[in-house]
Amino acid sequence: MAQKTVGFLIRLHKAADTRISHQAILSVYDKTGLVDLARGLVKHDVRLVMSGGTARLIRDAGLPVVYVSDFTGFPEILGGRVKTLHPAVHGGILARDIESDEKDLADRHIEKIDYVVCNLYPFKVTVSRPDVSIEEAVEEIDIGGVTLLRAAAKNHARVTVLSDPNDYPEFLRELETGGVKEQSRKLYALKAFEQTADYDSAISGYFRKQYATGGVQHLPLRYGTNPHQKPASAYVMQGTLPFKVLGGSPGYINLLDSLNAWPLVKELKQALGYPAAASFKHVSPTSAAIGLPLNGKERKVYMVDDIAGIESSGLAQAYARARGTDRMSSFGDVIALSDKVDVVTARVISREVSDGVIAPGYDPEALEILKQKKGGKYFVLEIEESYAPPSLETRTLYGVQLEQRRNDVVISPQDTFNRILTPKDLPKLPDAALRDVTVATIALKYTQSNSVCYALNGQVIGLGAGQQSRIHCTRLAGDKADNWWMRFHDRAINITWKKGTKRADKSNAIDMLCSGQLPRNDVEKADYERVFQEVPTPFSQEERDAWLTKLDEVSVSSDAFFPFVDNVFRASRSGAKYIAAPTGSQKDGAVLETAEKLGIVFIEQGIRLFHH
């Protein structure tokens, strides 16, 4: 039937029933409340245009129906796949109340459509079935419905779009009281856009899992945070994943650690110009360091004195520092390295208990060494060094979408630490202090809050992460720094071990000796002493105090202000000479006064660095 004839018949029908003033097109899968809605529309002199099962339901309810095929003058084809995709439908929806649009409609005998009622095929429900085939999934992809929703939502200044049956009652109430409000049309349009966006996301997500093989865009994971949290995956909405899996199979938590650790070492290298490394566990660094040369004592403390050629690799020395700072916390770590991994670094990694590594590249021999760890299960990620994530980041928490600008603030020794609050006569920080406070502050950017960090010699020596009170962060980080320094005592360095003692057992015994957490019963004492050829004498409190007084020139950074002076006192006990923190506390005056009395330089670091 020609379009001109169709338009003539519709106008003729309107002339015969002068009550008809508006038109609605109804095309729904979920027919909840549809009959009541249709009755309300007819009551307000709205012509109902629809097809298929929707038309049958309304017709059987005794209400007048105009079939889409009569409205368009074109029959349904392809088994009903093409019904509403026609200029008579979409011209009627998209037409605005302007002269040029009115002329186009009149020239082509098209009538305006004022209401669109539509919801979509249940794609999510279909693909959630474990036995669903790709062919079945394809059949649940709605084309005409999505087009109706988008067209109506786009023209919501004139057209009302209803995509949720829960909105029908309020819509009818507004019709009863004089018409649909502008604000309601806006909210209905938003809901329609959200429904189509969610629908498209579900479709792309399904086909990403089917077709994006090889970890290029979508990487299936064994499970989520815990084994019962399945399915789990990593993917990007556009482009490709910024890393390649060269060995093993990373898990969900592994990626959380890797993708937090990598930008940390990348920023350290950019800020200070040295190779950088981080030992990462449970979404916080255990330590991070730059590749300053190791002296003989440090090599012994960090258990790398027998690694041939370590003096030639700044990257290996950076990781030796990062791993060696807190060996107990670093057990089973994820490693991040700023530079291409050389053979020396791979040899250091090869004998430590670790889950995996992320770096921008690997020498062929180094890669082979790493791929042999854990029987080939050790994960090795190659990150694209130039990759820059989007400026906005999102996450879903308890079904709620959260969005924020990514924390892309740049911490630099040149720009971040040039406001010295006390002593006021100090013109600038010494280079070593500037380096260390930079290390500490960049580390905080990737540490779960609340957090406080102690640094010395280009490395993190104590980190308090994820504590609810700042003093507990400061104490925890200080205790770790003390423990680290106690390991440089000759008594700890010169322990004689029984032959065959494993590195993990050595680390545990050293930690107990240096922390003073020695056995309190015979069973525990026997387990502790079994690793020694000669059991070391415990440190007395006087010995500990005397040795800890030698810890000096430590830089401390806090991710937010110090609310009380107790933080300054505790930092001072672990050799703090420099403190960097934001200001803004009511106790700022007292904090600065205390720092000055203790001989501590206090620098305002004007950026809060909470990380969650």
pLDDT in tens, 268-294: 999 999 999 999 999 999 999 999 999
Model pLDDT for residues 140-193, shown as the tens digit of each residue = 888 989 999 999 999 999 999 999 999 999 999 999 998 899 999 999 999 999
Residues 316 and 407 in one domain: no
pTM of the model: 0.87
Model pLDDT for residues 567-590, shown as the tens digit of each residue = 999 999 999 999 999 999 999 999
Q: Given this model, what pLDDT does residue 78 score?
A: 84
Q: Given this model, what pLDDT does residue 3 score?
A: 47
Residues 413 and 456 in one domain: yes
Tokens, residue 27: 């095309």
Residues 44 and 68 in one domain: yes
Q: Given this model, what pLDDT does residue 15 score?
A: 40
Model pLDDT for residues 309-319, shown as the tens digit of each residue = 999 999 999 99
What integer is the mean pLDDT of 321-332? Answer: 96
For residue 11, pLDDT beyond 70:
no
Mean pLDDT value across the chain: 93
* Cα 65 to Cα 149: distance, rounded to the nearest angstrom: 21
Residues 279 and 426 in one domain: no
* Cα 510 to Cα 41: distance, rounded to the nearest angstrom: 80
Model pLDDT for residues 414-446, shown as the tens digit of each residue = 999 999 999 999 999 999 999 999 999 999 999
Partners of 77 in beta bridges: 82
Q: Given this model, what pLDDT does residue 14 score?
A: 47
Number of H helices, E strands in the chain: 25, 21
Helical axes 3-16 vs 87-94, angle rounded to 10°: 60
- Last-in-domain residue among 333, 352, 383: 383
In the chain the first and final C-alpha atoms are separated, in Å, by 63
Is 284 a member of any domain? yes
Is 467 a member of any domain? yes
Residues 260 and 367 in one domain: yes
Is 481 a member of any domain? yes
Query: Where in the sequence numbering do the catalytic residues fall?
Result: 154, 282
Q: Given this model, what pLDDT does residue 558 score?
A: 97
Tokens, residue 481: 């720094």
Is 192 a member of any domain? yes
Residues 59 and 178 in one domain: yes
* 19 confidence band (pLDDT: 50, 70, 90): low
Tell me, what DSSP letter sits at residue 495? Answer: P
Residues 268 and 343 in one domain: yes
Is 229 a member of any domain? no
Least confident residue range of 66-75, 321-330, 474-483, 601-610: 66-75
What's the structural domain count of the chain?
Answer: 4
Is 612 a member of any domain? no
CATH number at residue 100: 3.40.50.1380
Residues 416 and 496 in one domain: no
Residues 377 and 398 in one domain: no
* Cα 495 to Cα 35: distance, rounded to the nearest angstrom: 85
Is 396 a member of any domain? yes
For residue 17, pLDDT beyond 90:
no
CATH number at residue 521: 1.10.287.440
CATH number at residue 302: 3.40.140.20
- Could you tell me the residue range of the domain that residue 505 belongs to? 490-538
Vertex 465: Cα angle to 473 and 454 (nearest 5): 65
- Last-in-domain residue among 519, 538, 557: 538
- Last-in-domain residue among 315, 348, 383: 383
Residues 373 and 514 in one domain: no
Residues 471 and 534 in one domain: no
SS3 25: strand
Is 238 a member of any domain? no
Residues 37 and 184 in one domain: yes
With contact defined as beta carbons under 8 Å apart, do 366 and 378 qualify?
A: no
